[in-house]
């Protein structure tokens, strides 16, 4: 075999190896992206349930406060829960919209940035929807007892009512302080543990799939 023939054969082999490598990378990437989408499905289901919960609560709250306009404390309780229900629906809708706009055909770094933005939004969603229950469980219980049994907790158990509202405010402030305290660079592990507990497994699993693609694509 002449030298030119040998060079040509090596070039053909090199191109085939490159094509095979590109094919392997494509198959690996597509498999991991499918797993990324699958990882986010429970998050989608959770947001749909959040919308359904918010809608049911909004209907209940509207029915309640429109029937008790003559009692300021009952009206306020109903309006608070109505506003909370709307906020719950809005945050879930925005989160679903952000998930739906993820471009899985983009480079991995771009997808990671999109997932990071989704993660921040999801954390804000969880905090805004979850933390108010330190206090809101009291007016919610007021609505349940008044609507179901005609029992006015505020009128009959005023001291208990305000004591639990105050305790809820203390708990809310304590949670805020813990979050700020954990942001100190010296407590990075605590901050990571808190963030992991708030983020949930769906986003962590999706991030893990993207990290594996990024490592595989490295030369």
Count of C-beta atoms within a 10 Å radius of residue 31 = 13
Per-residue confidence (pLDDT) for residue 210, from 0 to 100: 64
Spell out the domain ranges in the chain: 3-217
Compute, in degrees rounded to 10, the torsion defined by CA atoms 69, 74, 79, 84. Answer: -160
Q: Regarding predicted confidence, which is higher, 181 or 16?
A: 181
Residue 150 has pLDDT above 70, yes or no: yes
Per-residue confidence (pLDDT) for residue 103, from 0 to 100: 80
Backbone angles phi, psi at 104, to 5 degrees: -75, -10
What CA–CA distance (Å, rounded) separates 28 from 210?
11
| Residue 88 scores a pLDDT above 90 | yes
Residue 11, Cβ density class (10 Å: 0-12 exposed, 13-18 middle, ≥19 buried): exposed
As a three-state string, the secondary structure of 80-117 is HHHHHHHHHHHHHHHHHHHHHCCCCCCCHHHHHHHHHH
pLDDT beyond 90 at 205: no
Lowest mean pLDDT among 19-28, 110-119, 171-180, 193-202: 19-28
> Residue 164, Cα to own-chain centre: how many angstroms?
28
Position 66 scores a pLDDT of 93
Q: Are 88 and 57 in contact (CB under 8 A)?
A: yes
pLDDT of residue 116: 82
The Cα 134–Cα 84 span in angstroms is 13
Instruction: Return the pLDDT at 62.
Output: 95
pLDDT at 178 over 60: yes
Place 155 in a pLDDT band, splitting at 50, 70 and 90.
confident
Q: Which of 1-5, 46-50, 168-172, 209-213 has the lowest mean pLDDT?
A: 1-5
Is residue 150 left, alpha or beta, with left meaning phi > 0 and alpha meaning psi from -120 to 50? left
């Amino acid at each position: 075999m002449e030298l030119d023939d040998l060079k040509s054969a090596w070039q053909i082999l090199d191109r085939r190896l490159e094509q095979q490598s590109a094919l392997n990378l494509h198959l690996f990437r597509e498999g991991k992206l499918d797993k990324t989408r699958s990882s986010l499905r429970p998050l989608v289901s959770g947001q749909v349930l959040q919308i359904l919960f918010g809608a049911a609560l909004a209907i209940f709250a509207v029915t309640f406060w429109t029937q008790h306009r003559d009692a300021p404390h009952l009206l306020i309780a109903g309006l608070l829960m109505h506003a909370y229900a709307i906020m719950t629906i809005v945050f879930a809708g925005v989160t679903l919209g952000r998930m739906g706009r993820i471009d899985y055909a983009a480079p991995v770094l771009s997808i990671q940035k999109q997932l990071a933005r989704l993660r921040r939004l999801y954390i804000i969603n969880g905090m805004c929807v979850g933390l108010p229950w330190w206090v809101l469980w009291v007016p919610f219980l007021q609505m349940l007892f008044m609507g179901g049994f005609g029992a006015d907790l505020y009128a009959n158990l005023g001291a208990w009512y305000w004591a639990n509202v105050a305790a809820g405010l203390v708990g809310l402030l304590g949670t805020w302080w813990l979050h700020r305290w954990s942001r100190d660079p010296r407590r990075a592990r605590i901050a990571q543990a808190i963030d992991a507990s708030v983020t949930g497994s769906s986003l962590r699993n999706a991030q893990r799939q993207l990290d594996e693609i990024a490592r595989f694509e490295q030369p």
